[in-house]
Structure 1
Amino acid sequence: MTSDKKVFISYSNNDRDFADRLANALMALGQDIWFAKWDIQPGDSIISKIFEEGLANAKAFAIILSKESVRSSWVREELNQATMYRIENLVRVIPIIKEDVEIPMALRTLHWVDMRTDFDSGVRTIFNVLNGVSEKPPLGETPAHLKAIVQPVAGLSRLASTVGLHLLRATDVDEPFMRAVRNKELADALHLTPTELNDAVDELESQGLAETNKELGHHPFDFGSVEPTYLLHHAMSGFLEYKPDNDVKVVISAIAALDSAEGPELKQHTQLSSGRLNRAVEYIKDHGYADVLLALGTAPYGFMLVRATRATRQASLD
């Protein structure tokens, strides 16, 4: 994690004990230090060792700020050199506050490490900064009520898109008829408030994408249950494994070829499931592409008979 470059510790002689403690604490964590006490030997040129070896090869300049150090000519010289390196993006300058003191002008724009009351925390902060370690906690899991909300689809709001997608998935696409979903079931599944759910369902219904049962006694909801229409499948076709528009084309071609047909014959001709066939026929009826006769007792089909018209034959040629 650490690099071969050392951290230069700048301090006043009166802060020797503090600097020694800091240097040993960082060394114990695996961070190498350039420390005058250790790196300047008898007979060495102090100026040469500090400016040509210590500062020139440092990855960071840690300056201990105390009442004595801010008056020290040596510390000021080291700071001036470190400031020049910092300007050239060669070294990181880390001010360390040992005691209450006026921060030198050259350091006032930097974030400093306050070690006046908590030495160990300061050591950890310095080590983390030097080695790119963040104490920022890991990102938590998105709350369920937000995770359930999807991005807007087909020009709908996010809430309407979320409710619409849930309705779409509430029934298998091959089932003959779509399932109506109760208000509380929707609210609990999507973690929506009654107001949010009411607004979303109203938006879907206003665009013909859903139909509601507005029975009495369902406060605080504006509806008892809601079920999707075939139009919702078209609006949210991107979430389906088939294309509703293609089903419509297949059924129109089949009606044109058969001229008239009941559910079983049309299903056999198109090879579509009852659910997909019912939705395609409903689309065809509402858009005037064929005559569709309805009657009771035709389940699993939602119609009794379909008859081709001029519109059917013209559409089949497109």
Structure 2
Amino acid sequence: MAKVFVSHRGVDAVPAERLARDLQAAGHEVWLDLWEIEIGDSIVEKMNEGLAGAQYVVLCLSAAGVTAPWITREWAPAVARQLENSGTRLLPAVLTGQEAPALLADIKAADLTADWRAGVAALLRAMDRAR
């Protein structure tokens, strides 16, 4: 299956981990900071390892926003790689009613707010179609 990097704000750790577990249960290799970054690790180095070779970056959209420094360092390069057709695709997932940044406004997001299972299923279909 695919290598998936889940990008989220710290305040969204609980739903992000739920989403990561759902993607993992579907057979995908999932990178989530909560699982991969240990005390004493270089955050930047670990993020680079997680993003390297990721076929998908799932960007968790929430009321907390997606413009903080760390989360921007995760999704912005994914957009650049997608524009270069380098094999990485950004898949926004709405956890709580948040508008995407203008740069991502034309990318349809999976909505997990109304029906979690349907939103996850939509993400999985998007991954299947892209391969």
* TM exceeding 0.5: yes
* Aligned mates of 2:36, 2:81 — CA distance in 1: 21
Q: Which residue of 1 aligns with 2:61?
A: 65
**Cα offset, 1:86, TM superposition:** 1.2
**Cα offset, 1:10, TM superposition:** 0.3
- Aligned with 1:58: secondary structure? coil
What amino acid is the match of 1:119? W
* Aligned mates of 2:98, 2:119 — CA distance in 1: 17
Q: Which residue of 1 aligns with 2:90?
A: 93
* Aligned mates of 2:53, 2:40 — CA distance in 1: 21
Q: Aligned pair 1:18/2:43, yes or no?
A: no
Q: Aligned pair 1:42/2:56, yes or no?
A: no
Listed one character per residue, the Cα deviations across residues 135-156 of structure 1 (whole Å, up to 9, x for unaligned) are xxxxxxxxxxxxxxxxxxxxxx
Q: Which structure's relative contact order is higher, taking Cα pairs within 8 Å and 6+ residues apart? A: 2
Q: Aligned pair 1:106/2:100, yes or no?
A: no
- Contact kept in structure 2, 1:96 and 1:115, CA below 8 Å: yes
**Cα offset, 1:44, TM superposition:** 1.6
TM-score, scaled to structure 1? 0.39
Q: Which residue of 2 aligns with 1:125?
A: 122
Listed one character per residue, the Cα deviations across residues 109-160 of structure 1 (whole Å, up to 9, x for unaligned) are 1111111111111111111211239xxxxxxxxxxxxxxxxxxxxxxxxxxx
Residues 123-272 of structure 1 mapped to structure 2, 5 A cutoff: 123-132=120-129
What amino acid is the match of 1:87? L
- Contact kept in structure 2, 1:69 and 1:75, CA below 8 Å: no
2:72 corresponds, among 73, 76, 81, to 76
Deviating 4+ runs (over 6 angstroms):
none
Listed one character per residue, the Cα deviations across residues 157-182 of structure 1 (whole Å, up to 9, x for unaligned) are xxxxxxxxxxxxxxxxxxxxxxxxxx
What amino acid is the match of 1:62? V
TM-score, scaled to structure 2? 0.90
Bigger radius of gyration, 1 or 2?
A: 1
- Aligned with 2:55: secondary structure? strand
Of all paired residues, the percent bearing the same amino acid is 33
* Aligned mates of 2:44, 2:67 — CA distance in 1: 19
- Contact kept in structure 2, 1:31 and 1:127, CA below 8 Å: no
Structure 2: stretches of 5+ with no match in the other structure: none
- Contact kept in structure 2, 1:10 and 1:64, CA below 8 Å: yes
